[in-house]
Chains A and B, each alone.
Chain A
Amino acid sequence: MTGARALTAAALAILVGGAVFAAVRPASRAAPRSLPAPERAGAVAAVDASLEARWAAEGLTPAAPADDLAVLRRLTLALTGTVPSLEEIRRFEADAAPGRLDRWAAALLDDPRFHRSFAERLARVFAGSHAGAFVVYRRDLLVDWLAERLARREPFDAVVRELVSSEGLWTGSPEVNFITAAVVDGKVDEDQLAARTARAFLGVRMDCAQCHDHPFADWKQAQFKGLAAFYGGLKPSPLGLERAGGGEPHAPFGAEWLPERGRPRERLAAWLTDARNPRFARATANRVWGLMFGRPFVEPVDDVPPAGTKGTEALDLLAEDFVRSGYDLRRLVLAVAASRAFRLSSDLPEGAPRAALEKAWAVFPVTPLRPEQLIGGLLQAGSVRTIDRDSDLVTRAIRVLREKSFVAEYGDPGADELAERPATIAQALLRMNHKLPDEVLEANPFTATGRVALMAGGDGARALEVTWLALVTRRPTEAERAKFLPWLAEARGGGERGKVLGDLAWALFNSAEFSWNH
């Protein structure tokens, strides 16, 4: 244990050393002013108009616009899975030109943290989250493969076609893990793949139709079996996937889009991503909305009503633009990030009808962070510099290890990450009493808290500000300053000041403000 701690401390020292000077003082590094302001992507104006019309019709007064730092926080959490680093906050604040949030959103899409984090989210949907050691290794290959495609801006329809129709061995062709993740006892479970295909790519829950006709939607068992037959008779062999036998494939709807020729899975891939299939784009838009807001536009994320359903016009608009853009996932993400709904505050005046406003996207929904966001946020807050691909290998290795074990203890949400879960007592206990937060947040020469205590010296106001920015991406309120400045002033010596700051960092980490998206 001591060894691991020393290693952690060393890694944090590398991270923190030097950078803290720059970050504790207002930005000395270049702000990304040189970045071109991205066009307000496609559907933004139309989506705004559609939601505004709904608010007017329902007599709802939307929340006030959120503070830019609050938007930066939710944007960074959605796209990278962590809170913004002090370094990033300083650079963001130094950027005074209009449209800085749009610019930052666009810049984050080129950040490897985004590729990695979004790839992980998508991999869970495509291949589940089974934990067997061998399967984890396979999934990691799939995550790498997806991250690479996100980095090189491959159109999303092409990505899905590759997944669905891939051949070959899982080692050489990571995308084939979409299929092999459904191998049970040496056989490809076609029903599992059909259910996943329907959920992930069509936004349809057909699972119940596996055994009987769907009780309340109009899915019939024959439709499910027809879909499953595209994956029928598949067997992993030393040469890759082989098809022997299998039933007669049928498209569950839109049979006219199904190519007549080709291998069954090639035909299915073409049918799924055909521009005439509105369900593919709507399902993707709903998922991206969910990943950005912490809550999908319609719930559950993978049971989306058909195009044109009242109340889901925004999804239609985003989906149409997604198809028009040639399935450009970044443009879709940017459009959601630029929408008025995404930039609204979570705060409401006393007595405002929160439930009704949340339902109509007239206030930013307050949702619990996913475990990986919570731990990512914690580790980032314990460091001054941005933890990313450029961070040294040791730091990243430690981060990955800790993320995995903490996520396991915190409760892995599995494949269905966007289903909202109530906060549990066990999670609150873990946040309060687990040794990891203390290791990361305690003041010692190697942690951000320790460096801040040292650099700020007797300047309590500065120390508070930096601690608050690092953890909750805002400055302390008047009430907080009034309460905590005397604590710091009364502390005798740097060591004691560090302890007070460590306790304040602990309190911030345990606050709902930290562990809930807002």
Chain B
Amino acid sequence: MEPLSRRSLLAAAAAAALMPRGVLGAAARAKSLLVIWLEGGPSQLETWDPHPGTAIGGQVGAARTRAPGLEIADFYPRVAEQVHRLSVLRSVVSKEGDHERGTYAVKTGHRPEGATIHPSLGAIACHEAPVAERGLPPHVSLGKAQWPARGGFLGPGLDAFRIVNPGTLENLEPPAKVRAREERRLEALRVVEAGFGAAPGRRQEALDGALAMMSSPRRRAFVLDDEPKAVRQAYGDHPFGRGCLVARRLLEAGVRAVEVTLGGFDSHAGNHEAHRAAAQVLDPALSALLAELAERDLLRSTVVLVTGEFGRTPKINVAGGRDHWPHGFSCLLGGGGIAGGQVIGETDPSGAKAATASAVPVEDVAATVLAALGVDVRLELETPEGRPIPVTKGTPIRRLL
């Protein structure tokens, strides 16, 4: 499980030397975006920014990783073996302390304002680099996300396609007991459709696309029957583990943007226990995913962002919980040409409010993701009303690109 073999590095360098600049730019571009969404606001202290032995540190210990000097919470022994492939941002700040608004801010890189709904990063990726092949949605959300990534003003066609129960085809096939009647149903539908003359054309596309998806062999990417048992076990036999494995399959199949959601982080009471329970699911799944992405050479073409809507208060409340804290939290970011093994920013071990001088606004995280995906961060997108909206107001983090 080496990160990148020496030979492939050499090959890449040789190829780069031979290629003209423009082509190199294109070749270096990330193809896809993978967001691991930790819903509810994971505590930075119990994930990627432990402060053991301090007043704010709680009971969790620190685990060493393969990146020199980088330690993460010891809830994550397996992720510790893989996390050097990504970088750790420890001073992310947002202005939104409410779940819905915070989710919007991180998923789109914009604050919610007015009636303009900004597109999520995944929707922008799909919009800027459309997927040509049919049969799979370009943008997918796996698991029970409360606010899945949306297309916003780019249109509902770029909303993430939801599979609430990963590993199944869900609405991509008829319910089992009526499957035998599908032929007759579709025949009846054709007859009825032929009789409805109003506004032809505008409505046919969605139905055709749906039927194409239902009959496409590519949809097998959503199910796991042909994955070896050992692989499925490594990810974990639970919806999130299956979601991560499906995500890998979808990325391999050419899906542009995938998000996988894990809940259980909103620990206003019993913070330690809640985070330990969540880690038992996240640790195997995320580590298996990172290892496989590297092994299958997908990490170079996939930007990986692991984050929630905000972090949690350094101070532990009377219920043993931590409350919402957008003033300095952690996320993991890497892949797709983004430097790995870096640590950006730090939080105050005494837990005083202001993050640090090196604060990274969520807007900058979004800008970094977009830049790595090859999107010009000065780009303006147009709303249906013709209003130009900057794709991001953030600045890419130079150290990572």
Interface residues of A (CB under 8 A from B): 130-132, 184-185, 192, 195, 199, 205, 207-208, 210, 300, 302-303, 346-348, 354, 366, 368, 409, 411, 414-416, 419, 421-430, 432-435, 438, 442, 477, 479-480, 483-484, 487, 499-500, 503-504, 506-508, 510-513, 516, 518
Contact = CB atoms under 8 A, between A and B. Distances in A.
B228 interface: no
A192 B113 CA distance: 7
Given A432-B174, A438-B175, A503 B191 contact: no
Contacts of B191: 479-480, 483-484, 507
A376 B161 CA distance: 23
A184 B192 contact: no
Interface in B180-233: 181, 184-186, 188-189, 191-199, 202-207, 209-210, 213-214
Interface string B68-105: 00000000000000000000000000000111110000
B162 interface: yes
Interface stretch (B8-16, B23-31, B152-160, B288-296): B152-160
B115 interface: yes
Residue of A354, A425, A503, A506 with most partner-chain B CB within 10 A = A425
Contacts of A433: 170-175, 214
A504 B192 CA distance: 9
B178 interface: yes
B198 A347 contact: yes
A300 B181 contact: no
B116 interface: yes
A480 B193 CA distance: 10
Nearest to B173: A433
B333 to A, nearest CB: 27
A205 B253 CA distance: 43
A518 B195 CA distance: 14
Contacts of A500: 184
A205 B385 CA distance: 11
Contacts of B109: none
Closest 5 CB pairs of A and B: A507-B188, A428-B210, A207-B114, A366-B199, A425-B209
Given A347-B198, A429-B172, A423 B206 contact: yes
Given A130-B100, A504-B188, A426 B161 contact: yes
A487 B184 CA distance: 10
Contacts of A409: 162
Contacts of A414: 117
B156 A346 contact: no
B213 A429 contact: yes
25 contacts: A185-B98, A195-B115, A207-B113, A207-B114, A347-B197, A411-B156, A414-B117, A422-B157, A424-B159, A425-B157, A426-B159, A426-B162, A428-B206, A432-B174, A433-B172, A433-B174, A433-B175, A484-B191, A506-B188, A508-B192, A510-B207, A512-B196, A512-B198, A516-B198, A518-B198
Contacts of B197: 347-348
A422 B115 contact: no
Nearest to A354: B199
A422 B159 CA distance: 12
Given A185-B97, A499-B181, A346 B159 contact: no
Contacts of A419: 384
Contacts of A131: 100, 146-147
A504 B159 CA distance: 31
B341 interface: no
B387 interface: yes
Given A421-B155, A426-B137, A480 B198 contact: no
A348 to B, nearest CB: 8
Contacts of B116: 207
B140 to A, nearest CB: 10
Contact of A511 (B155, B156, B178, B189): B189
A402 B77 CA distance: 42
A503 B175 contact: no
Contacts of A426: 137, 159, 161-162, 171
A427 to B, nearest CB: 7
A9 B188 CA distance: 26
A382 to B, nearest CB: 16
Nearest to A205: B115
Contacts of B162: 409, 426
Given A428-B206, A433-B174, A421 B387 contact: no
A429 B210 contact: yes
Given A433-B175, A503-B184, A511 B159 contact: no
Contacts of B186: 507
A300 B384 CA distance: 10
A422 B155 contact: yes
Contacts of B146: 131
B40 to A, nearest CB: 13
Given A507-B191, A513-B196, 17 more contacts: A208-B114, A210-B114, A300-B385, A366-B199, A422-B157, A423-B203, A423-B206, A426-B161, A427-B206, A428-B210, A433-B174, A438-B175, A484-B188, A503-B185, A504-B188, A510-B189, A512-B193
Nearest to A63: B198
B171 A430 contact: yes
Residue of A199, A415, A423 with most partner-chain B CB within 10 A = A423
B94 to A, nearest CB: 12
B157 A208 contact: no
Contacts of A512: 193, 196, 198, 203-204, 207
A473 B183 CA distance: 25
A132 B159 contact: no
A424 B155 CA distance: 9
Given A184-B98, A507-B189, A415 B115 contact: yes
Contacts of A504: 188
B130 to A, nearest CB: 14
Nearest to B134: A425
A428 B115 contact: no
A104 to B, nearest CB: 23
Contacts of A427: 206
B199 A516 contact: yes
Given A132-B99, A346-B198, A511-B193, A411 B172 contact: no
A484 B184 CA distance: 11
Given A414-B117, A480-B192, A516-B199, A506 B209 contact: no
